[in-house]
Amino acid sequence: MGLRTPLYSEHERLGARLVPFGGWDMPLHYGSQIEEHHAVRRTAGLFDVSHMRPVDISGPGAQAFLRHLLANDVARLKTPGKALYSCMLNSSGGVVDDLIVYARAPERFRIVVNAGTADKDIAWMREQGAGFEAAIQPRHDLAMIAVQGPEARRRAAPWLPDNLRDSAMTLAPFFATEADDWFVGRTGYTGEDGFEIMLPADRAAALWRSLVDAGVQPCGLGARDTLRLEAGMNLYGQDMDETVGPLESGLAWTLAGEPAERDFIGRDALLRLRDAPERRDFVGLLLTGRGILRGHQKVLRDGEEIGEITSGGFSPTLERSIALARVAPGLDGICEVEIRGKPVSARVVKPPFVRHGQPCITLEDA
């Protein structure tokens, strides 16, 4: 049996199919994964993401510590409440985890890391943080609920605390606001507008029920995965890991190379790989032949294997199969993917596939 979030009994009550994920028992879906996916693209959906771990970093050395720990630069967070996506690298440039960091106040930050890697991440942070005046505090006392979709913020507003509602409703994208132990970020993992809400664990069930009763669709990990894939967002452990870094997983945009004197973990390894001829590309694929793209299928060019799919599946919005793939440099136009031993045609595209309910790629076969 896995760990249970404070919303476990809500999932049972709603008839969720519960599956092990990152050490937790989590809802895969509540009936139809595709309907859940469409709800987020069209109206609003609700996710229990309490398995993810908030970690507070505070103290006079907090900013210096995070500028050393993370490949993106928290010095870019000039306003309290601003958020930043970053990789946390090892010294060989591989990814320990990807995360979101929120600036809360000078000397106070909050990081949110993945469930399956949380213990490893915190051990790594403590190891790296030894020389800095910064406290590292995992927040096991908080639950986290994501409300995502074009109607998400409006639907969530009535259930936010009175002292937070106005500031939450006026947040710019990728900003957060907080009061007492409630923390609301206009962030997400779906390619839609919405909130991620951290709150005391004992308040989570009441918020969840209010949103469900208000007609917001509960969504499981299945829809979360197809939504993030359509949005072209990476999944740690599939698209990148400790052996494959950001330059080969489409995350170069998250690396802050300037200022050059900032000495962050993994910097030297990234500089070595940056101009290396063997550096692989990270691309999107749209299947034009029949079948479904899946992780680990081989990508072929002229019959020769040149890479592999890292995440693949069926896109409910496009009603086509899509994938992210790591391939030899210079792949363009069309290629083939080996599905059950047979080559099937695919087109190379630039992710994202879908944002804000709309396709970002053309579906006509080239």
Partner 1 sequence: MSNLPADLRYTKTHEWVKENGDGTLTIGITDHAQEALGDIVFVEVPENGRQVDADEACAVVESVKAASDIYSPLAGEIVEGNATLTDTPDAINTSPYEEGWIFRLVPSDMGALNGLLDAAAYQQVVEEED
Residue 172 beta carbon to partner 1: minimum distance, rounded to whole angstroms: 34
Residue 222 touches partner 1, criterion: CB under 8 A: yes
Residues binding partner 1: number (CB under 8 A): 16
Which of 3, 14, 18, 34 is close enough to bind partner 1 by CB under 8 A? Answer: 34
Which of 11, 29, 51, 301 is close enough to bind partner 1 by CB under 8 A? Answer: 29
Distance CA 300, CA 327 (A): 9
Nearer to partner 1, 12 or 180 (CB): 12
Select from 128, 146, 144 the least CA-distant residue to 136: 128
- E strand or H helix at 58: strand 53-58
Nearer to partner 1, 29 or 347 (CB): 29
Backbone angles phi, psi at 344, to 5 degrees: -125, 140
Distance CA 263, CA 216 (A): 45
Q: x/- string (CB under 8 A) for partner 1, residues 273-312?
A: -----------------xxx-x------------------
Residues linked to residue 308 through DSSP beta bridges, in sequence order = 298, 326
Distance CA 48, CA 80 (A): 26
- E strand or H helix at 156: helix 152-156
Residue 226 touches partner 1, criterion: CB under 8 A: yes
Q: x/- string (CB under 8 A) for partner 1, residues 66-105?
A: ----------------------------------------
Residue 114 beta carbon to partner 1: minimum distance, rounded to whole angstroms: 20
**The token pair that represents 311 in the structure block:** 């995440």
**The token pair that represents 39 in the structure block:** 């709800």
Q: Which residue bears the tokens 């595209």?
A: 349
Residue 28 beta carbon to partner 1: minimum distance, rounded to whole angstroms: 8
Nearer to partner 1, 188 or 220 (CB): 220
Q: x/- string (CB under 8 A) for partner 1, residues 172-211?
A: ----------------------------------------
Please give the torsion angle defined by the CA atoms of residues 173, 174, 175 and 181, in that order, rounded to the nearest 10 degrees.
120
Distance CA 306, CA 333 (A): 14
List residues near partner 1 by CB under 8 A.
17, 28-29, 32-34, 222, 226, 290-292, 294, 313-314, 321, 340
